[in-house]
Structure 1
Amino acid sequence: MRAASRLFCAAGLIGAAACAAMATSTPGPVAPSDRAIRIEARRVPLGIGGATLGPGVTWAGGLVLRGSGLHGLSDLKIDGGRAWGVSDFGQLIRFTLQLDRNGRLVTADRAVTRPLTGPDGAVLTPKANADSEGLAILPDGTVLVSFERDHRIWSYGAVALDRPTAVARPDTDFPDNEGMEGLAAAPGGGWLVLGEGGGAWVCHAACAPLGAAPVMPADGFRFTGADIDPAGGWFVVERYYRPPLDMRVRVRRLSADGVLSDPVIQLRPPASIDNFEGIAAVATTTGTRLYLLSDDNANALQKTLLLAFDVAAPTPAPRP
């Protein structure tokens, strides 16, 4: 992470009036290893101006999330309607996304958190040892977390209940605070790794560069997140962050041979914008639902934003 220092009202609810502009909740009973945290979700608009959506992309709702355990969120993945996130402070956070009858994001609830631990079972401290930046959930349920400063990728097993074990990471000397920001599942049980300052690798027992191993363009954008594209390849987040006057983000596709597409989504002020680092892609009947999550850096002047977009399935190429 490089920044300032650096999810219906259910469709089954009776009456649309039950969907308030703001919702707060605490979860019911949770596993002993989890701690319930209060989550406040207030709807936000995309904003008038500042958003450029590519062909087939539509706005599907947005939230600003508030709560004592919802700061510094660095990545996002969705597993069965449950959102998973990790934070700069070594926390694993989960909450439930709620959609209205039209599938638009309207609130989030039932949030829990627990600290990430080391191989010895001890809670990770201090921040330099606990700075989790990337999150991937593999097809078998294995949860991977990447850390920066002490650059490493750990597997926490299925549902993140195991003591972690180290897995393959790129053999690259990452800068102290510009490490493995993007982490996502890859075909064949592997994982994609993106370096904040550039570079892409696919890892299994070892890591190999992805195609041409894309480097970041010269316009100041940096890789901050990735998730697997149900149509093939990945969606990646690129952030330009020069607060307080200039914050921008764009989403592009990354092909299996390392080619970046034109932007699918571009946001800049006055659109709803902050320090976007997390992305989750969920297959739908018409294409893909994308969620973008921002890291507020535990700064009172910033926001934890969760934005939703629907991306239509690519049109098949005509047969020759």
Structure 2
Amino acid sequence: MRLALRAGLSLALVGLAACAAVVTATPGPVAGPDRAVRMEARHVPLGVGGATLAPGVSYAGGLILRGPDLHGLSDLKIDADRAWAISDFGHLVRFTIRLDRNGRLTSADSAVTRPLTGLDGVALAPKENADAEGLALLPDDRVLVSFERDHRIWSYGAGANERPALVSTPHHPFEDNQGVEGLAAAPDGKWLALGESGGAWLCDADACAPLPNAPRAHTDGFLTTGADVDPAGGWFIVQRLFVPPLNMQARVRHMAPDGTLSEPLIRLRPPASTDNFEGIAAVRTPSGVRLYLLSDDNDNVFQKTLLLAFDVSRPVR
């Protein structure tokens, strides 16, 4: 979801003065419909103050990602060391994440992009038709993408290599710019769909059914912007609050299979490294789960594309 931001956001939301060296990946030749793109990865600290982590949660490194094709990234999933993201401008972006010997996030490179296509195989346009917000990688390798404004969920087939096909989408009167923002795999080949302003549905090939205990509306200013499946059951969700011009916050919570939400595991607010977080990915680790958060810079010069990593030791509830 794009936000109308003001120049005041140049406040040090990401502590640029504390950043370390920059690593730039130069595009090389690729096969198929993908196009290699330039990616610059700069280390970013969590910052002093503004971050509240629940017991068992620790920061595992962060990056600012820059590149002419890396704007508006609105969801994130990770398969092995390969990150998948989609953008508000109708593109699928993939890149490789790099960890150091201690498992901390240290860099990212090998970025490629391709346009998301419509039912006719032609690249989506204009923005109202291409506003991709949610991404799910299913166990059968199908790639699902949710769109808002023209609210729908499409399957792009195995590896996102097919023309899209409409799949079950919640029948709900979503507002124009507040559709299915959270999308994630679910047990038995199903998928979870989360409305930005409230509501959660479990979908299969036939229909979508609401989760009984999921909040139907948000009352504290936070909106749900991303979700990923918890390898141990349920999901992790990211929620974002924005009050112009400077108050940008995020929190991560666990969602049980019935939709019940935990207390926040992660809270971010200035002066911590924070921005418009819309993407979340969960990866199993020997001690629990690694969570990656990705922010959407809205193609705004005063915002950043942040990729932050957090380790969560069990239990999470």
TM-score range, shorter chain: over 0.9
Q: 1:107-146 alignment to 2 at 5 Å? A: 107-146=107-146
Deviation at 1:243, TM superposition (A): 3.3
Deviation at 1:257, TM superposition (A): 1.0
Distance in 2 between the 1:44 and 1:172 partners? 39
Q: Deviations over 1:143-180 (max 9, x none)?
A: 00000000000000011000000000001111100000
Matched, 1:70 2:74: no
Distance in 2 between the 1:194 and 1:5 partners? 25
Q: Which residue of 1 aligns with 2:243?
A: 242
Distance in 1 between the 2:160 and 2:201 partners? 23
Paired residue type of 1:289: R
Deviation at 1:28, TM superposition (A): 3.9
Deviation at 1:129, TM superposition (A): 0.4
Distance in 2 between the 1:82 and 1:41 partners? 15
Q: Which residue of 2 aligns with 1:221?
A: 222
Q: Deviations over 1:249-307 (max 9, x none)?
A: 00000000110000000000000010000000000111000000000000001000000
Q: Deviations over 1:188-214 (max 9, x none)?
A: 101000000100000002100012232
Q: Which residue of 2 aligns with 1:94?
A: 94
Distance in 1 between the 2:265 and 2:217 partners? 17
Q: Which residue of 2 aligns with 1:50?
A: 50
Q: Which residue of 1 aligns with 2:11?
A: none
Secondary structure at 1:181's aligned position in 2? strand
Paired residue type of 1:203: C
Change (3 A) 1:144 1:315: closer
Q: 1:1-320 alignment to 2 at 5 Å? A: 1=1, 3-4=3-4, 21-205=21-205, 206-314=207-315
Cα RMSD after superposing both structures = 1.4
Q: Normalising by the residue count of structure 1, what TM-score does the alignment of the two structures yield?
A: 0.92
Secondary structure at 1:296's aligned position in 2? coil
Distance in 1 between the 2:244 and 2:38 partners? 28
Paired residue type of 2:280: I
Deviation at 1:29, TM superposition (A): 3.4
Distance in 1 between the 2:40 and 2:171 partners? 41
Q: Bigger CA drift: 35-44 or 236-245?
A: 236-245
Deviation at 1:45, TM superposition (A): 0.3
Q: Normalising by the residue count of structure 2, what TM-score does the alignment of the two structures yield?
A: 0.93
Q: Which residue of 2 aligns with 1:14?
A: none
* Cα contact 1:294–1:303 (8 A) shared by 2: yes
User: Which residues of structure 1 form unaligned runs of 5+?
Assistant: 7-19
Distance in 2 between the 1:26 and 1:95 partners? 12
* Cα contact 1:226–1:280 (8 A) shared by 2: yes
* Cα contact 1:27–1:109 (8 A) shared by 2: no
Deviation at 1:30, TM superposition (A): 1.8
Q: Bigger CA drift: 26-35 or 187-196?
A: 26-35
* Cα contact 2:294–2:306 (8 A) shared by 1: yes
Deviation at 1:27, TM superposition (A): 4.4
Q: Deviations over 1:97-144 (max 9, x none)?
A: 000000000100000000000111101000000000000000111100
Change (3 A) 1:268 1:153: same
Q: Give 4+ residue runs of structure 1 displaced > 6 Å after superposition.
A: none
User: Which residues of structure 2 form unaligned runs of 5+?
Assistant: 7-19
Distance in 2 between the 1:266 and 1:143 partners? 29
Percentage of pairs with the same residue: 69
Q: Which residue of 2 aligns with 1:17?
A: none
Secondary structure at 2:180's aligned position in 1? coil
Secondary structure at 1:128's aligned position in 2? helix
Distance in 2 between the 1:192 and 1:52 partners? 27
Q: Deviations over 1:212-237 (max 9, x none)?
A: 23234311000000000111100001
* Cα contact 1:2–1:178 (8 A) shared by 2: no
* Cα contact 1:276–1:292 (8 A) shared by 2: yes
Distance in 1 between the 2:297 and 2:208 partners? 31
Q: Bigger CA drift: 82-91 or 204-213?
A: 204-213
* Cα contact 1:248–1:266 (8 A) shared by 2: yes
